[in-house]
Structure 1
């Protein structure tokens, strides 16, 4: 299972991909991309800062 993330700056979607792909896109470490999703990062920054949102995977057969 590969986890995908969405990278936003404010309300603008920059890119969707794995943490590794987003890190290459922004030229930062993978753990930096994961840090953008933490509550502590959100508290330290404004709403216009970079944000990483973990995308939920749809599970087949669950109604």
Structure 2
């Protein structure tokens, strides 16, 4: 089953779906969506001047 992602810009939800669906909606590559969920991306975005306005990705848990 494909992994589901949620992409936010600040407090606003932009899109929910697979990496390919999110990428298509936002006009980026699926690799970028996956990168947004990595610890490296979170550290880099936290160092920005206004981290609350950054685009962030969250990998949604598959809870059955």
- In which range does the TM-score fall when normalised by the shorter chain? 0.7 to 0.9
Per-residue deviation, 1:38: 1.1
Per-residue deviation, 1:57: 1.2
Where does the alignment leave 5 or more consecutive residues of structure 1 unmatched? none
Where does the alignment leave 5 or more consecutive residues of structure 2 unmatched? 46-50
More helix by share: 2
Per-residue deviation, 1:11: 1.3
> Could you tell me the TM-score, scaled by structure 1's length?
0.83
Partner of 1:44: 44
> Could you tell me the TM-score, scaled by structure 2's length?
0.81
Runs of 4 or more, structure 1, over 2 Å off, are: none
After superposition, residues 17-56 of structure 1 pair within 5 angstroms as 17-45=17-45, 46-56=51-61
Please give the alpha-carbon distance, in whole angstroms, between the structure 1 residues aligned to 2:63 and 2:42: 26
